[in-house]
Structure 1
Amino acid sequence: MRLLAAIATGIALLGAAPAPPTPTPGASSAVTWGVAPSTAKGPNGRPAFTYKLDPGATLTDYVAVTNHSARPLTLNLYASDAFTTAQGGFDLLAGGRQPTDVGSWVRLSQRSVTIPSTSRLNVPFTLTVPRNATPGDHAGGIVASLAATSADAQGNQVAVDHRVGARIYLRVTGELQPALTVENLRVRHSGSLNPLAGGTLTATFTVRNTGNVRLTGRPTLNAAGPFGLGRRSVDAAALPEILPGGELTTTVRMTDVPPLFRLTASAAVTPAAVGDQVLDPPPAVDTAQASIWAVPGPQLALLAVHALAVWVLIAVRRRRARQFARAVATAREEGRNEASRETERSSDGQDAAIPAVVGAGPRAGGDGDPAPDRSAPDADRPGQSRDNSRPDIGHTRKGKQ
């Protein structure tokens, strides 16, 4: 039996505030009705049937079923158990399933009601808590449904149960044990193409209500690299209520997470009371951990490019240094060669001038007087006449006699 999503949503809304009349789709769209907590005289504004009873207690209450249509309407009336959907919604068992909890504790005076057009019936019911009922919260609802047939996308005729209802919240007295657990933590890291930015860490996990009190909670995600490097934390939005025994799946994302090769993520949920409940003492916080590889691909590529640039720069500098050293060595060699050639030219010039000045200088062992001119006539030699035109005043000839 298939349920309309709109009707299921209407049931969920009844838990918070009275829902507007629910129309049926298609040809019978003019058929609308509503369900609300009531007294023998009519609805009293309660958003839900909320009770606190001892095991074995019994009470009588009323549910108002209102037909807003312009024609009479026959509806099926029954109670069922509630459960938490995977997305955190409040829903009731399908009409063909037998309840085993608070839905089975409700006895309606009528299982089928025919309501005149634009009229209301206040239907009484009794709720009896079994003596062996477990302490804590029990949730369900009272439903008014209309069975109909409809064609699916392939043209097949299918039975559809259009239904709307009001929630039942029953707390059985006894020891309360509020608790939420975190299970099936799965973590994924998506890197960024920008090497200067971090990636996105996505954590998906299941929150299960393992206690006996309906709870909400606020998830927290923590992440850190090796030795606690880059530790970060983010708080997510509060969860919808989770019934005892129920569970839901939630996802928390953390942005700008640096890829530190190996990340350790921990998800935690702090339980909180629903509505005006008081949890004393506060329940413990449950956590779950998971590790994931976060290889910094763009960062490594940038580092490789930087290392290559440094290597090229060093290689170019070394090459220039070697070229400069070779140039300096060549210049020095050329300088030495030029100096050697200059020395050789100087030596050649001195050697050429030596014959022209032989004998012109002082005689060895002399006192600086010029050497006598051997070509001139010597007065001391016999048979030679002395030139009187060259006075030899004060001249003393030195040398060996």
Structure 2
Amino acid sequence: MRLLATIAVGIGLLGVVPAPPASALAAPAPSSPPATQRTSPSPAPSPAAATWGVAPSTARGPNGRTAFGYKLDPGATLTDYVGVTNHSSRPLTLDLYASDAVTTTRGGFDLLAAGQKPTDVGSWVRLPRRTVTIPSASRLDVPFTLTVPRNATPGDHAGGIVASLTDVGSDARGNRVAVDHRVGARIYLRVTGELQPTLTIQDLRVRHTGSVDPLTGGTVTATFTVRNTGNVRLAGQPVLGVAGPFGLARRSVTGTALPEILPGGELATTVRMSGVPPLFRLTADATVTPVAVGDQVLDPPPRASTAQAAVWAVPWPQLALLALLALAGWALIATRRRRAAQHARAVAAAREEGRAEAGRAPDADRSGPGHDNRQPAIDRTGKDDT
């Protein structure tokens, strides 16, 4: 449940549908068994005690269709039936109307809020009355007409026919709130003409998160919006590629497949890649390949859309490790040089000491006992005094 101006919705259900708080418009398989809800009698019906379903039908009852699917030319008109089944033990009066479909931010199928006026296929549907009263445990097959305008654009148009019940209650603070419980069936209409299946990537944002472990790479996270800029409802397959300078160490990873995106709709998605080496400057390219929905055949296959962005990936842990290794190497070299210098000084001192001792030894021998240091007198005439 949500507050005023919001709704709780369940669309495309074939069987019993208790008033749901879900916001997605889900369409289960035809074989899905109806969900039942037992309630005790009370003076007035309430959404909590009411259970109803909406499904494609015929004048004679449902025919197994899970959704209204048509392919019409501009200006064409058709008549069909919607079956509204009351599975409650009391009569129900429901609002019955058609509206346009939208793609939610999470990729779900939803309809415009009750207060919003449809401008597309929801406005092309005409129902005989706005409200219907259905007896307990009964079904009402309501006819409607769908008229395609002559100027309708080719391609897919999506909407739904809704049976709703509004409940007024209180929130946790005691404020009165109105909650619109909606159940319905989807409408998929393809208007003939040229098809343009195109998905476009917008607002690509990339960031790199490093790892404290210098021996492992970081994580690259790419967030972007995929918008259906064509006229065909499409799913998509995103792929993220990351490379360093000059394409070094390029890798790619496939993201989670995208659900159906209606024409004009958009969906935000995120793709992550781990173990990316921090090569200072990384280039990331996001690619999304359009994928046909259901039994559609797209011929020729639509082109993929690509967007590119760059991100810095400075290897701080690796640089710190290199700095530590460089410091250790410098310390080792400095220690070896210091030891070599000390050894050289010791050798030089030893040599100097050896030379000094060698120089002192002859003098000591000549000045020792029994050695006459006097020189004989020589006559300048060349004759001895003797």
TM-score, normalised with respect to structure 1: 0.83
Deviation at 1:346, TM superposition (A): 4.5
- Provide the residue aligned with 1:12 in structure 2: 25
Counterpart of 1:369? none
Residue number in structure 1 paired with 2:326: 307
Q: Choose the corresponding residue for 2:58, options 39, 47, 50.
A: 39
Kindly indicate whether residue 196 of structure 2 is the aligned counterpart of residue 177 of structure 1.
Answer: yes
**Distance of aligned partners of 1:20 and 1:255 in 2 relative to their CA distance in 1, 3 Å threshold:** farther
- Go from structure 1 to structure 2 and tell me whether the alpha carbon gap of 1:336 and 1:19 turns closer, same or farther (over 3 Å shift): farther
Deviates more, 1:208-217 or 1:23-32: 23-32
Q: After superposition, where does 1:290-329 map in structure 2 within 5 Å?
A: 290-329=309-348
Partner Cα separation in structure 1 for residue 269 and residue 29 of structure 2? 22
Alignment of 1:2-401 (within 5 A): 2-4=6-8, 7=20, 9=22, 12-14=25-27, 20=34, 28-348=47-367, 352=370
CA deviation after TM superposition for structure 1 residue 143, in Å: 0.5
Q: Using the alignment, how far apart are the partners of 2:104 and 2:36 within structure 1? A: 21
Contact 2:95–2:131 (8 Å) recurs in 1: yes
2:25 is paired with a residue of what secondary structure?
helix
The answer to whether the 8 A contact 2:96-2:164 is kept is: yes
CA contact (8 A) 2:47 2:165 kept: no
Kindly tell me the number of residue pairs found equivalent between the two proteins.
354
Mapped contact 1:88–1:242 kept (Cα < 8 A): yes
Paired residues of 1:38 and 1:44 also in contact (CA < 8 A): yes
Residue deviations 1:128-179 (CA, integer Å, cap 9, x gap): 1111111110000010100110212221111111001111101111111110
Q: Cα distance, 1:127 vs. partner?
A: 1.2
The alpha carbon displacement at 1:345 in A equals 4.3
RMSD of aligned C-alpha atoms? 2.4
Separation (CA, whole Å) in 1 of partners of 2:69 and 2:293: 13
Please report how far the alpha carbon of residue 341 of structure 1 lies from its aligned counterpart in structure 2 after TM superposition: 3.8
Aligned-partner Cα distance in 1 for 2:365–2:302? 108
Determine the C-alpha separation between the residues in 1 that align with 2:322 and 2:36.
Answer: 63
The one-letter code of the counterpart of 2:106 is: Q
Q: Secondary structure at the match of 2:259?
A: coil
Alignment partner, residue 42 of structure 2: none
Q: Distance in 2 between matches of 1:353 and 1:90?
A: 126
1:219 to partner: Cα distance: 0.6
What TM-score do you get using the length of structure 2 for normalisation? 0.86
Amino acid at match of 1:91: D
SS in 2 for 1:240: strand
Which shows bigger deviation, 41-50 or 8-17?
8-17
Q: What amino acid maps onto 1:12 in structure 2?
A: L
The whole-number CA distance in structure 1 between the counterparts of 2:37 and 2:362 is: 121
Question: What runs of 5+ residues in structure 1 fail to find an aligned partner?
Answer: 356-401
Q: Which has the higher helix share?
A: 1
CA contact (8 A) 2:82 2:142 kept: yes
**Aligned with 1:14: secondary structure?**
coil
Query: Partner of 2:261: helix, strand, or coil?
Result: coil
Deviation at 1:339, TM superposition (A): 3.0
Deviation at 1:110, TM superposition (A): 3.0
Q: Retained in 2: the 8 A contact 1:13–1:19?
A: no
Instruction: Give the corresponding residue for 1:398.
Output: none
Instruction: Report the Cα distance in structure 2 between the residues aligned to 1:19 and 1:342, rounded to whole angstroms.
Output: 121
Deviation digits for residues 47-67 of structure 1 (CA, Å, limit 9, x no counterpart): 111111111212221111111
- The answer to whether the Cα contact below 8 Å between 2:77 and 2:146 also exists between their aligned partners in 1 is yes
Structure 2 gaps, min length 5 = 11-19, 40-44, 374-386
Q: Distance in 1 between matches of 2:328 and 2:240?
A: 39
